[in-house]
Amino acid sequence: MKSEAFFYDAEGSDRAIGIEEVLGIGQIGEHQLVWFDMDAEDVQALDLVSRKLGVPKEALRVQDGRASQGVAVYDKLIAFKLTRAGVADDPITLILGEQWLVTVHKGAVAYFEEFRERDRGETLLGRLTPLALAGSLIDWHLEEFHQEVEQIQRQLDELDSQILHQRARRSPLVELTKLRRSTARLRSRLEWHRPLVHGMLRPDFYPAADEAHSDFFHTLESHFNRAEEAVDRARELVVGSFDLYATRTAQNTNDLVRALTIVTVAIGLSAALAGVFGMNFDIPFFHTGIRGFLIVTGAMISVALALFSFARLRDWL
């Protein structure tokens, strides 16, 4: 991606604008707002923004700096980071000024594009404060966690179908372990935002915030809580799938033991019949030759078939 700037004018035109051009405007009007969406690897643009807006360079760093978990305050600026649901070690840094917002990240952020695509015409976004715009982006950010949860649920549905399938041969333990790790990692990344979301409700977070901001922060907190509940449900579903697999495995073991028992009984009956006819009594039947042998063998097979038919009728096999 490349670094971009978006100029929102509630009394004029919204437009994408060059970073150098918008920095040359000077004073930004009351109903105007500028969003600088910066590539973390675009060092030249970051230096320009840092110099023109008075943003400390450490605040613009994605991987380090004081703006770690929670909020960092730099004179009139505040900065914080968001951890991404599906991208490891690539957080998003947000820095709020009086009439502008700076976001710094590596690679494209899908919901940033969706946010801008949604408002293609003239909007009233210029009337928003940078804090309100940042709050909207955080709300979109939480949707990424819901999308990750939905993907985990789809994978679990497929695994449950495999587990319940009578002829499934491949063990799902590897996939279940991966999904368990995914849910744990997702929860850890979501928990990162707790100090930020709950901190927004404190009066010292942003003294210039009015009652409307407070209402929105309470809504944002409820959205965060729902995201936590969704991740917790995903974890419970993973555990439930493992329990289903354990139950299915136990059932398969019982079926195998039952089948082996029936086979053992059939062999035992055949052995008993053979033993009876192998006794050393001189009776006429023992002198029937091949005919007697075929009769005894047929009796053994008949006993086994009768036993298997009875087991099948009782649904033991």
Query: Which residues are paired to 105 by β-bridges?
Result: 39
**Cα(219)–Cα(7) distance, integer angstroms:** 27
Q: How far is CA 228 from CA 93, 98, 151, 157, 296, in A?
A: 22, 32, 16, 21, 71
Alpha helix (H) residue ranges in 119-210: 130-164, 173-191, 194-199
**Cα(174)–Cα(172) distance, integer angstroms:** 6
**Is-contact 56 74, C-beta < 8 A?**
yes
**Cα(248)–Cα(270) distance, integer angstroms:** 33
pLDDT, one tens digit per residue, over 19-37 is 877 777 666 777 788 888 9
Asked if the model's pLDDT at residue 62 lies above 60, the reply is no
Asked if the model's pLDDT at residue 230 lies above 90, the reply is yes
In this prediction, residue 34 carries a pLDDT of 87
Highest average pLDDT, of 55-64, 101-110, 125-134, comes from 101-110
Asked if the model's pLDDT at residue 120 lies above 80, the reply is no
The closest alpha carbon to 33, from 81, 85, 83, 96, belongs to 96
Asked if the model's pLDDT at residue 209 lies above 60, the reply is no
pLDDT, one tens digit per residue, over 149-184 is 999 999 999 888 888 876 556 778 888 889 999 999
**Cα(135)–Cα(283) distance, integer angstroms:** 100
Q: What is the overall mean pLDDT for the chain?
A: 79
| Global pTM value | 0.73
Tell me the residue type at 25.
Answer: I
Tell me the residue type at 86.
Answer: G
In this prediction, residue 65 carries a pLDDT of 43
**Cα(114)–Cα(259) distance, integer angstroms:** 59
In this prediction, residue 213 carries a pLDDT of 67
**Cα(102)–Cα(96) distance, integer angstroms:** 7
User: Residue 51 CA to chain centroid, in angstroms?
Assistant: 39
Q: Taking residues 110-114, report their average pLDDT.
A: 87
Strand pairing of 4-9 and 32-39? Answer: antiparallel
Asked if the model's pLDDT at residue 1 lies above 60, the reply is yes
The closest alpha carbon to 242, from 152, 144, 176, belongs to 176
**Cα(69)–Cα(37) distance, integer angstroms:** 21
Query: Which residues are paired to 5 by β-bridges?
Result: 17, 36
Tell me the residue type at 293.
Answer: F
In this prediction, residue 234 carries a pLDDT of 92
Q: Taking residues 54-72, report their average pLDDT.
A: 65
Q: How does residue 204 score in pLDDT terms, banded at 50, 70 and 90?
A: low
List, in order of start, the domains of the chain with CATH numbers: 1-128 (3.30.460.20), 252-313 (no CATH)
Q: How many CA atoms lie within 13 A of 292 on its CB side?
A: 10
Asked if the model's pLDDT at residue 281 lies above 70, the reply is no
Query: For residue 299, what are the contacts with CB-CB under 8 A and spacing of at least 6?
Result: 273
The closest alpha carbon to 14, from 33, 30, 1, belongs to 33
Q: Which two tokens stand for residue 214?
A: 């407070």
pLDDT, one tens digit per residue, over 289-305 is 677 667 777 777 777 77
H or E, element range at 96: strand 92-96
Asked if the model's pLDDT at residue 271 lies above 80, the reply is no
**Cα(39)–Cα(183) distance, integer angstroms:** 29
Q: Residues of the chain with pLDDT > 90: what percent? A: 11
Highest average pLDDT, of 47-56, 75-84, 94-103, 251-260, comes from 94-103
Asked if the model's pLDDT at residue 92 lies above 80, the reply is yes
